[in-house]
């Protein structure tokens, strides 16, 4: 089995678990690929990864069976950009903090590997959002799992985002920005801006303004079959756009359109996983210090 390992950094208390993961994969004679930047960190903390091959680009992951994301949700989102159109199944191993996406605790890495080799798992496919523009903004990796965002720069004044759905005018958002979120991203940036929680399996996009000037403007749910396009007005010559954790400064006249991506992210769902339980645990639902 060919397995890619993607990560950034982690705390020292996770070292034994990660070393155990590599040792276990070696004992199963897995073919291992390690992300180049991650390999530098592994060398620094003394983890032995058994002469694994190194990759630095998604095109080097051809015929990969699984991609393990080691870290938190930010690392998982970065891993999605490497899994890409090949739809490499993703397993999120949580050595971070929140873990909406990286749902496998580090203590259960070996159980997860065993489940993969025994095929006692299933896949959950998640919708991605795709960006079209008249500029090449993200080197061809123009999709995201959580959201696409349009934002003002630094301490500049608010921007105006003229928004259209399938060519029909919707609204002009006077705000610090606008988020177009997938259902998966409803627990991310959109949630912090007052957006609703949406089940991952629903076929929707969420339009959430960031600090809107008009208080009667609220988040809106639209079908993910919609094509959303934007025209920006700003006092500055540039504004920011982002796809998950990747951001770019672009000129005001840049043409931007988002739609549902043609392919999906394929996430490994292990036995015992429950989305509602994850919500309760991560959002502290039902937690009351009085009880």
Distance CA 159, CA 213 (A): 10
State yes or no: pLDDT of 19 exceeds 90. yes
State yes or no: pLDDT of 289 exceeds 80. no
Scanning the structure block, which residue is given the tokens 């043609």? 262
pLDDT at 275: 86
pLDDT at 161: 97
Q: Higher-confidence residue: 236 or 221? A: 221
**HSE (side-chain half, CA atoms, 13 Å) at 73:** 16
Q: Cα dist. 286→19, 118, 276, 280, 282 in Å?
A: 36, 36, 12, 7, 11
Q: Which of 44, 29, 28, 30 is nearest to 7 (CA)?
A: 44
Using the CB atoms, write b or e for 136-151: b if 16+ within 10 Å. ebbeebbbbbbbbbbb
pTM listed for this prediction? 0.92
Distance CA 39, CA 274 (A): 32
Distance CA 210, CA 189 (A): 9
* Known catalytic membership, residue 43: no
Q: Which of 43, 73, 132, 244 is catalytic?
A: 73
| Sign of the torsion formed by the C-alpha atoms of 277, 281, 285 and 287 | positive
- Band (100; pLDDT cuts 50, 70, 90): confident
What is the percentage of the chain residues whose pLDDT exceeds 90? 82
Element holding 232 (H helix, E strand): strand 228-233
**pLDDT tens-place string over residues 45-73:** 999 998 899 999 999 999 999 999 999 99
State yes or no: pLDDT of 203 exceeds 70. yes
Q: Higher-confidence residue: 155 or 25? A: 25
What are 220's two structure tokens? 């809106």
pLDDT at 291: 66
**pLDDT tens-place string over residues 152-193:** 987 778 999 999 999 999 999 999 999 999 999 999 999 999
**pLDDT tens-place string over residues 241-287:** 999 989 999 999 999 999 999 999 999 999 888 888 888 888 888 77
- Band (229; pLDDT cuts 50, 70, 90): very high
């Amino acid at each position: 089995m060919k397995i890619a390992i993607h990560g950034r950094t982690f705390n020292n208390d996770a070292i034994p678990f990660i070393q155990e993961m590599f040792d276990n994969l070696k004992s199963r004679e897995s073919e291992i690929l390690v992300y180049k930047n991650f390999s530098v960190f592994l060398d620094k903390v003394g983890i032995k990864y058994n002469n694994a091959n190194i990759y630095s680009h998604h095109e080097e992951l051809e015929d990969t069976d699984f991609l393990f994301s080691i870290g938190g949700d930010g690392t998982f989102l970065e891993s999605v950009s490497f899994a890409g159109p090949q739809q490499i199944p993703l397993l999120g191993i949580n050595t971070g903090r929140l873990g909406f996406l990286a749902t496998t605790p580090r203590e259960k890495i070996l159980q997860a590997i065993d489940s993969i080799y025994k095929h006692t798992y299933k896949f959950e496919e998640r919708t991605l959002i795709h960006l079209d523009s008249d500029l090449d903004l993200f080197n061809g990796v123009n999709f995201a799992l959580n959201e696409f965002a349009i934002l003002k720069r630094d301490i500049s004044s608010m921007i105006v985002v003229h928004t259209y759905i399938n060519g029909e005018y919707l609204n002009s958002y006077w705000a610090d920005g606008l988020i177009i979120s997938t259902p998966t991203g409803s627990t991310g940036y959109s949630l912090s801006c007052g957006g609703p929680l949406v089940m991952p399996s629903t076929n929707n996009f969420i339009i959430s303004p960031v600090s809107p000037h008009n208080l009667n403007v609220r988040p809106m749910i639209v079908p993910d079959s919609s094509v959303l396009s934007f025209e920006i007005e700003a006092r500055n010559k540039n504004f920011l756009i982002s796809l998950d954790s990747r951001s770019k400064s672009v000129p005001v006249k840049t043409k931007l359109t988002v739609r549902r991506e043609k392919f999906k992210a394929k996430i490994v769902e292990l036995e015992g996983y429950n989305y509602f339980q994850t919500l309760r645990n991560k959002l502290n639902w039902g937690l009351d210090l009085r009880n």
